[in-house]
Amino acid sequence: IAGGVMAAYIQILGNSYAQSMGIALDQARQMFATLLLGASVMAAPAALVISKIMFPEVSEPETKGTVKIKIEKNASNAIESIANGTIDGLNLALNVGAMLIAFIAFIALINYILFALGNLTGWNEPLKAAYGQPLDFQLVIGLVLRYLAVGIGVPWHDSLKFGSLLGTKVVLNEFVAYMEMGKMIAAKTLTNPKTILMATYALCGFANFSSIAIQIGGLGPLAPSRKGDIAALGIKAVIGGSLATLMTATLAGMLM
């Protein structure tokens, strides 16, 4: 994850943990800084391992050895180059913003349909009583991922919370998931040190549906002819990224 958002996560989790556990704020922040830094470093080789498993090299790669690249100059001077860069940057930002709005709106539509279905069937109130939220996409994914959480070593009594955080991270993004985790820690509904450690590692990544929009909107204009390939790899990239962070979380839980 980026250094800027890492600092925000350290603040969110550190403040909640210090308040809940009654320890010094600096000590709590230092603990989560160590965890997040370790998770970020471990995620890079984990992502390479998962990507090679999902897409093994079955032939000689085109980039092996000497690669000749022809770079065309599309500007006659520095002024034109600055102007072209400004226009391209603006188009890129607009593409990413539009894709994010569209994807987040699509998730909101799914949640609206599921919420309406919950009201129609009378499921929302029992679900609120049992899980603290009505029928929505995050809850569905959380219930499915609960058993995956148990499989990687999360205690059963925390597995639903862990799965819900994973669901929030995949459906929305890791920022919202870390905020929810901070609330759980502050409310003392998430206190197990092993679960907190593994959740910190598992949420440390950009594998979510919003990232698909960012990849299409960001890389599409750079390689318009490959936009279809980028879109086709979107879901696989989310799965691969999630597996990478789950692998680091499993290892962290084993070594605790």
The answer to whether position 63 is within a domain reads no
- CA 125 to chain centroid, in Å, comes to 29
pLDDT of residue 242: 93
Distance CA(4)–CA(8), nearest Å, equals 7
Token pair, residue 229, equals 């390939």
Q: Which stretches in the chain have pLDDT values below 70? A: 73, 96
In 3D, which of 53, 31, 61, 62 has the Cα closest to residue 244? 53
Apex 212 CA angle, 37 and 249, nearest 5: 30
- Residue 201 belongs to some domain of the structure: yes
Domain hosting residue 119, numbered range: 3-56+97-255
What's the predicted TM-score (pTM) here? 0.79
| Cβ atoms 170, 242 nearer than 8 A | yes
Is 239 part of any domain?
A: yes
84 located within any domain: no
- C-alpha to C-alpha distance for 148 and 152, rounded to whole angstroms: 6
162: Cβ contacts below 8 Å, ≥ 6 apart: 145, 146, 149, 154, 195, 198, 199, 202
Would you state the pLDDT for residue 253?
A: 93
On whether residue 185 sits in a domain, the answer given is yes
In a domain, 187, yes or no: yes
Q: Which amino acid is at 26?
A: D
- Residue 71 in domain: no
pLDDT of 170-196, one tens digit each?
Answer: 888 888 889 889 989 998 888 899 999
Radius of gyration of the chain (CA): 21
Report yes or no on 83 lying in a domain.
no
Domain count, the chain: 1
Neighbours of 51 (CB within 10 A): 16
